Amino acid sequence: MTSSPSQGDSVRSGHPPDSSRAATTPTGAELAAARLPGRILPPRWSPGPNDEESLDGWGFRDSHFQVLPNESVVLAGGRYQLSGLELPDLLPWIRSVLGVDFPVTDVHESQYPAEVPAPRLHAEFLSEIRTFLADSAISGDPRIRLRHGHGHTLEEMYAIKYERLERVPDLVVYPDTEEQIEALVDAAGRHDVCLVPYGGGTNVSEALRCPADETRPIVAVDLKRMNRILWIDPVNLMACIEAGAVGRQIQEQLAAHGFTLGHEPDSVELSTLGGWIATHASGMKKNRYGNIEDLVLDVRVVTPRGTLSRATALPRESVGVDPRRWILGSEGMLGIVTQAVVKLFRLPEVQRYDAMLFPSFEQGVAFMYDLTREAVPPASVRLVDNLQFQLSQTLKPKATGLRALKRKLEKKYVTRLRGFDPQRMVACTIVYEGSKVDVESQDRAVQRLARRHGGMRAGAENGQRGYQLTFGIAYLRDFVMKHYILGESFETSVPWSQVLTLCAGVKRRLYEEYAARNLPGRPFVTCRVTQVYQTGVCVYFYFGFYHRGIAEPAQLYAELERCARDEILKSGGSLSHHHGVGKIRRSFLPRIMSEAALEWSQEVKRAIDPSNIFGIANQAIEAGTAARTSIEAG
Amino acid sequence: MTSSPSQGDSVRSGHPPDSSRAATTPTGAELAAARLPGRILPPRWSPGPNDEESLDGWGFRDSHFQVLPNESVVLAGGRYQLSGLELPDLLPWIRSVLGVDFPVTDVHESQYPAEVPAPRLHAEFLSEIRTFLADSAISGDPRIRLRHGHGHTLEEMYAIKYERLERVPDLVVYPDTEEQIEALVDAAGRHDVCLVPYGGGTNVSEALRCPADETRPIVAVDLKRMNRILWIDPVNLMACIEAGAVGRQIQEQLAAHGFTLGHEPDSVELSTLGGWIATHASGMKKNRYGNIEDLVLDVRVVTPRGTLSRATALPRESVGVDPRRWILGSEGMLGIVTQAVVKLFRLPEVQRYDAMLFPSFEQGVAFMYDLTREAVPPASVRLVDNLQFQLSQTLKPKATGLRALKRKLEKKYVTRLRGFDPQRMVACTIVYEGSKVDVESQDRAVQRLARRHGGMRAGAENGQRGYQLTFGIAYLRDFVMKHYILGESFETSVPWSQVLTLCAGVKRRLYEEYAARNLPGRPFVTCRVTQVYQTGVCVYFYFGFYHRGIAEPAQLYAELERCARDEILKSGGSLSHHHGVGKIRRSFLPRIMSEAALEWSQEVKRAIDPSNIFGIANQAIEAGTAARTSIEAG
């Protein structure tokens, strides 16, 4: 659990070898002499042979949790740091936290694919799009259609396994060019077809869930073939990237030339640039690189009123009411983002993980507050509460021999000698990125401020494990669902002064609501602070419970999540820090925006998309062309 | 010109005394214990007795350049560092640069106020607004009406002195509350009156110029009485400020509690928070504090469709298409910003000026490029070209005795020993702000990178003088205008790779256009790089010429400025980095945005303001209700 400082100081250079570095990182002298390298044109990228994604669960097919005969749990495959490790403590810990001694043999068998609604065909539209799309770019496969009709909310995933989605796209198309998308929008307008842009399908806002009362044919426009990095400009640190590029591809292809975009949402392996723009996303390393609105310089969007585009991408402009800004957060309702020019950063000289332990959540939050006040916070600083800290401990493999001894001694040191209470202590994982000098300076500040709040170093190994765990534990939801446990995350942002009240309030509220319903055992509620700002933080909650014997458990989950959101809003938190609104949070919009603000968004939608081609009906926009008329009449 | 390093190291603490500091800067420990200070409610602020603003020129009445009998020039008053200094070199230098030996006695007498159009009265509207506005909040004074009909472009200032404005507001009102503004908008809608929001009146985009063909009564809504800082939240580093607060007030009132907004446009003395939002402004210290879009967390706006408002201001959100974002850059066309919640920063521990000299502009740019690549740029870094460097030297008072000797020796050292060519050398002024440690680290990087590009330190005194000169030289335009010289600035942003080409191209183009017209003497064209980004820079140009004997000189100036803009766009520059579009740059919009993007902005305007109450007709929006119908018909 602890480590010597030297372990925490392991430094790796993010730079590629010097030869390629020279090719891609011009200097001021070259600028002055106008001897500058040209744009880099990376080759086309395709997912690896093992990168096939699951249709009925989170992530990649090669990765999913399994129970071994000894009741240890293991994440299959070799993709993650966590993969392949036997985890003996996880199941006992889940049982104890939920207060339910469920037998692991009692499996809620998935019915996937639950019945897929029959497609509403539209011969004229289909024959028209066949004139510009190859057969391979058009799919009517029911499982593919189903997958394009949902994101990754608990309710949606439960529905595809145990219930059904009432409405899914009738067709899925895979355009390869902006011209094809323009032709699609044009054809959709003439044939009264509804289009839904589709990126990585990882949203947790029901933004992709099709309105049940949409009577027109619905066509999902999957951007996955539009994933080219069109150019990298090493002089001006910009890149032009198609909207369908997924995060891991962007990371790989930019790193090959010594660059990074720095945008790392938890879904970075699977989500796309276009999706980040449409949901107004945030990345885990935003302290260093900024959020999506800080990274996007230009965007091209095919809309019912033509294609929004600009002559050139520029560092910063004041050019009036700029339609580019309206696309951020548009959640598929105003058009299809086809490409964007983004800022780049050189790969950091140093990337280093660390972790700090604190006696209590309050002390951890106090540390983070002082960190934003008195220092430059590292690229990523995340604080888990005690329950989540415990979870992370259960995700350690069984230790034997020296390793077991070391762990025991560490634990003894922390709890006995340092007096940390295992039922109260929390952990903060840190990722440093930057020059050696900057990272050292940030590290010194972290150590100084952590000491002030009773913190102690837990070391690079724990830091890296904590940070990387994010990717592995995303698979837990589907695993526990098989065992009658529903669990899911939701998040908010909140000013510093309300952080502790909000975290405590949401937990209390969920315990009370749970108790009031006489539900089995105890709910699992835990939170972590994932982002810090000068003005406040982002808080991420996990909430779960055992539902064996409860009718309509997904609806119950949704109901309780709405209670939590009510408590969040009452505590001064936001509707969402980075997940967006979609359909799952739309009913709360009148509580956060004035009537005029909501009316504005409706008016803009009507003005830009008068026949509601992009009829996915998120936020304050209602479904269907008929519904639109009734809004107008109102 | 040079200084010993110790001079450059003078450090001042920006913090108020410890007692007040303790009251306003809570700690993490206080956060954890929930013992937090409450919001600070600053008292109402009013301009000082000497703060009366000129109606017929830039800035304050107490400040304007005068010629002494010995032909030295002096800035009257005591407001600026430059004020009261006898400047013997300025006039001779202007004559030599323009190649015109104009006699200083040949004065182009101002006709201000040139004829003010008669007001178009509207008795019903007037009697209605008198029910909620006091008499003192309504003005029909012709000079006041005139002042509200323009900003500070050269053409506008020339017009009020020597020509006329065809159309100015018919009435000026001074609401004190948001409710009064809501009532104004409501009344304007019912009485077919056009409303124009007015902040500091400092725009340089003709955003306030009234459309000549607007037949409806035009009422300017001056926000100056709505200038309260409603609260300062010392825990969450936010403040809620009314839109009419001017920059210097915000600076003063926040500094009294140890805070700063950090937003310092060149117009910071006079321009308002609401104006910054409406023009999408940038500040000189944006490297540390960000531009206006980075600073504004929430905004309230009275619009024809009701008042946009939010339940609470939050660190960062993803809440869909957010009407707040549409207000940035709206230039008075969509509504009236009444207040905003902004981020605050603690006053920096250290504020320090410095200046570096470089042998050439190219080397200075190369230095700045490397600075953005290899270091954290100081709060402000600005590079003037040789001509502007010369201008700054002429703005030094006559030196005598030891001071003269020192200056002579410095000059000799720079030009003879270091070999700097007085006709090529340039200067970079730097403002450091931050902790002592951060500033020292930035300073070391600056010195190291400057040496790489042949730079040498010119010291804190020159740095401070260079930075503060911005405020004094703003008065030069009105001074030289009296002597038949038209001069004005314009700006752009451009990627790094195009900086040198763009600067050279604009200068060459203006010389060529000037020569092709057989105009007197030579034009004055100079530039400075005022902002750096990873992706490029902001470049600010000054352009001037002597016009004695030329018909319609202001129109000529506008024509030549359009040539410069054409060259800027051809060179890959932006339409504007921070001044906006207004009317002066609207004709270029189709060159930078696709037809669809312009149509979007028109559609949104129609949807939000169907009877064009906010009829100031900037950007792609045409004037009048009739014109709007014709757009719809088209």
pLDDT digits (tens, 9 = 90+) for A179-210: 999 999 999 999 999 999 999 999 999 999 99
Mean pLDDT across chain B: 93
Q: Are B321 and A619 a contacting pair at CB < 8 A?
A: yes
Q: Taking residues A239-268, report their average pLDDT.
A: 97
CB contact under 8 A, A368 and B599: no
Could you tell me the mean pLDDT of each successive run of 10 residues in chain B, 634 residues long? 36 39 75 94 94 96 96 95 95 97 96 93 93 98 98 97 96 98 98 97 98 96 98 98 98 97 97 98 97 97 96 96 90 98 97 97 98 96 97 89 84 87 96 95 97 95 89 95 97 98 98 96 97 98 97 97 98 98 97 95 93 96 63 36
- Residue carrying structure tokens 């939590």: A564
Helix axes A154-162, A553-570, angle to 10 degrees: 180
Residue positions of A annotated with a catalytic role = 540
Is B312 in Cβ contact with A27 (below 8 Å)?
no
Inform me whether the pLDDT recorded for A214 exceeds 50.
Answer: yes
Strands (E), B426-504: 426-434, 456-457, 485-495
Which residues have C-beta within 8 Å of that of residue B154, sequence separation ≥ 6? B477, B486, B487, B488, B554, B557, B558
In chain A, residues with a C-beta closer than 8 Å to the C-beta of B317 are: 280, 493, 574-577
Alpha-carbon gap: B330 to the closest alpha carbon of chain A (Å): 5
Q: Per-residue confidence at A418, pLDDT binned at 50, 70, 90? A: confident
**Å between A88 CA and nearest CA of chain B:** 36
Q: Are A345 and A260 in contact (CB under 8 A)?
A: yes
Opening angle at CA A249, ends A244 and A255, nearest 5? 135
Q: Report CA-CA distances (Å) from A103 to A66, A86, A92, A109.
A: 14, 19, 11, 14
Residue A2: band (very low, low, confident or very high) from pLDDT cuts 50, 70, 90: very low
Say which residues have a Cβ less than 8 Å from residue A516's Cβ, sequence separation at least 6: none
**Rounded to an integer, what is the distance from CA A53 to the centroid of its chain?**
16
Region of B350 (left: φ > 0; alpha: ψ -120 to 50; beta: rest) is: beta
Non-local CB neighbours of A248 within 8 Å, separated by 6+ positions: A268, A269, A270
User: Is the pLDDT assigned to residue A8 strictly greater than 60?
Assistant: no
Interchain contact A203–B (C-beta under 8 A): no
Nearest CA among B437, B477, B445 for reference residue B381 = B445
Contacts of A363 in chain B (CB under 8 A): 32
| The pLDDT value given to residue A7 | 34
From chain A, the residues in CB contact with B295 under 8 A are none
Query: What CA–CA distance (Å, rounded) separates B223 from B202?
Result: 14
d(CA B277, nearest CA chain A) in Å? 10
pLDDT for position A1: 37
A599 closest CB neighbour out of B306, B362, B536: B306
Find the length of chain A: 634
CB A450 within 8 A of CB A31: no
Q: Please answer yes or no on whether A310 and B594 come within 8 Å at the CB atom.
A: yes
CA pseudo-torsion sign A96, A100, A101, A107: negative
| % of chain A residues with pLDDT over 90 | 87
With beta carbons less than 8 A apart as the criterion, state whether B514 and B522 touch.
yes
Q: What pLDDT is recorded for position B244?
A: 98
Condensed to tens digits (0 to 9), the pLDDT of residues B284-326 reads: 999 999 999 999 999 999 999 999 999 999 999 999 998 888 8
Q: Is A445 on the interface with B (CB under 8 A)?
A: no
Residues from chain B contacting residue A320 (CB–CB below 8 Å): 280, 329-331, 580-581, 589, 601, 618-620
Q: Is the pLDDT of residue A623 over 90?
A: no
Q: Do B536 and A437 touch (CB under 8 A)?
A: no
Instruction: Give start and end residues of each alpha helix (H) in B230-327.
Output: 247-255, 273-279, 286-289, 292-295, 323-327
Which tokens go with A622? 């209602």
Q: Given this model, what pLDDT does residue A628 score?
A: 45
Mean pLDDT of A398-419: 84
Please name the member of B320, B346, B599 whose beta carbon is closest to the beta carbon of A305.
B599
Which B residues, 50 through 69, put their C-beta within 8 Å of a C-beta on chain A?
Answer: none
CB–CB contact A328 B331 (8 Å)? no
Active site residues of B: 540
Residue with tokens 């995060």: A247
Q: pLDDT band at residue A408, thresholds of 50, 70 and 90? A: confident
Write the burial class of residue B400 (CB in 10 Å: 0-12 exposed, 13-18 middle, 19+ buried).
Answer: exposed
Structure-token match 């472009």, residue found: B153
**Quick check: A488 pLDDT over 60?**
yes
**Overall average pLDDT of the A519-546 stretch:** 97
> Which residues lie below 8 Å from residue B38, measured CB to CB, with a gap of 6+?
none
CB B154 within 8 A of CB B488: yes
- Classify burial at A423, counting beta carbons within 10 Å of its beta carbon; exposed 0-12, middle 13-18, buried 19 or more: exposed
Give the pLDDT of residue A397.
87
Q: What is the mean pLDDT of residues A601-612?
A: 94
| 8 Å CB contact between B462 and B430 | no
DSSP structural state of residue A201: S
Average pLDDT of the segment spanning A373-381: 96
Q: What is chain B's Cα-based Rg?
A: 25
Task: Say what the pLDDT of residue A323 is.
Answer: 83
CB distance A577–B317 less than 8 Å?
yes
Residues B218/B170, Cβ–Cβ less than 8 Å:
yes
Query: How many C-beta atoms surround the C-beta of residue B339 within 10 A?
Result: 24
Q: Which two tokens stand for residue B607?
A: 């949807």
Interchain contact, B237 vs A599, CB within 8 Å: no
Q: Token digits for B609?
A: 């303001």
B632 vs A: CB within 8 A: no
Q: Of A200, A246, A154, whose CA–CA distance to A474 is shortest?
A: A154
The predicted model scores a pTM of 0.95
Q: Please determine, for residue A222, whether its predicted confidence score (pLDDT) is greater than 80.
A: yes
Sorted by sequence, the CB contacts under 8 Å of residue B561 that are 6+ apart come out as B488, B490, B543
How many angstroms separate the CA atoms of B559 and B113, rounded? 25
Asked if residues B135 and B558 have their Cβ atoms less than 8 Å apart, the reply is: no
Q: Which pairs count as long-range contacts for A146-149, CB under 8 Å and 24+ apart, including other chains?
A: A146/A55, A146/A113, A146/A116, A147/A55, A147/A201, A148/A172, A148/A196, A148/A198, A148/A201, A148/A208, A148/A220, A148/A222, A149/A208, A149/A209, A149/A210, A149/A220
Residue A632 has pLDDT above 60, yes or no: no
Q: Which of residues 283-342 of B touch A (CB under 8 A)?
A: 291, 294, 297, 303, 305-323, 325-326, 328-331, 333-334
ipTM: 0.94
What's the rounded Cα separation, in Å, for the pair B170 and B142?
9
Asked if B178 and B300 touch (Cβ cutoff 8 Å), the reply is: yes
What is the pLDDT at residue B8?
33
Do residues A319 and B500 touch, judged by C-beta distance below 8 A?
A: no
A296: chain B residues, CB-CB within 8 Å: none
CA distance B336 to chain A (A): 14
Q: Which of A363, A496, A572 sits opposite B312 (nearest CB)?
A: A572
State whether residue A437 sits within 8 Å of chain B by CB: yes
| Residue among B286, B138, B317 at smallest CA distance from A315 | B286
B367 part of contact set with chain A, CB < 8 Å = yes
Let me know the angle formed at the C-alpha of A230 by A227 and A235, rounded to the nearest 5 degrees: 135
pLDDT of residue B436: 94
